[in-house]
Chains A and B, each alone.
Chain A
Amino acid sequence: DGGITQSPKYLFRKEGQNVTLSCEQNLNHDAMYWYRQDPGQGLRLIYYSQIVNDFQKGDIAEGYSVSREKKESFPLTVTSAQKNPTAFYLCASSPGSAPGTQYFGPGTRLTVL
């Protein structure tokens, strides 16, 4: 079954700890994205990667880091520098052949205590 997986679905961490969210896709898509969603709001872009070993900052990259060592994987680390890390995090991928079209994973809800 092709798709995007994010794990875990729910994540709890203590304040001051770094935490890494997983995103894997088996769609053979070149581009991958991380978004943050806060209650009642739209999606804001954190980081994106159009090709392996390359990534760019989105609109709210401060306090986050990513890597893209494999085409299938795009993990996001929420660092202790992120002031308000509690949010719903969504990963997406895009084939590039259909302009702008992105497909989303099920999301990870991060709660920092």
Chain B
Amino acid sequence: GQQLNQSPQSMFIQEGEDVSMNCTSSSIFNTWLWYKQDPGEGPVLLIALYKAGELTSNGRLTAQFGITRKDSFLNISASIPSDVGIYFCAGPYTGTASKLTFGTGTRLQVTL
């Protein structure tokens, strides 16, 4: 089946630093979604990407839809303590937009 690989698996950064993470697949995706999950809560949609090459921002977050359609990137600028959490990428199963496959997540921890 379709798999999404996220890297890094986890990262420790200092407040104020910029963060980069990525999501790759062996399959082509037509949509890329980025979610953030706080401990014990449901994931919250951060950014949705629908077109190859698209670059979209949401505050300090910027995500890009890779040109090959097999990858996506999420950057967080000037990290703050509330950025702590798990970031998931997701994309629709081939042939149906109604089912999503999720990456295994990147766990971000921010130190003061």
Contacts and interface: CB of A to CB of B under 8 A. Distances in A.
Given A99-B30, A100-B97, A42 B103 contact: yes
Interface residues of B, number: 25
Given A42-B105, A99-B92, A104 B44 contact: yes
B48 A98 contact: yes
Interface in A30-66: 31, 41-43, 45, 48, 50, 58-59
Nearest to A96: B98
A100 B44 CA distance: 14
A59 B101 CA distance: 10
A4 B41 CA distance: 12
A59 B100 CA distance: 11
Interface string B83-106: 000001011100001111011110
B59 interface: no
Contacts of B43: 43, 90, 104
B12 interface: no
Nearest to A88: B40
A106 B88 contact: no
Interface residues of A, number: 27
Interface in B1-59: 1, 30-31, 33, 35, 40-45, 48, 50
A85 interface: no
Given A98-B48, A101-B45, A109-B40, A42 B98 contact: no
B99 A58 contact: yes
8 contacts: A42-B104, A43-B43, A48-B98, A100-B90, A100-B91, A105-B42, A106-B42, A107-B40
Interface of A: 4, 6, 31, 41-43, 45, 48, 50, 58-59, 88, 90, 92, 94, 96, 98-107, 109
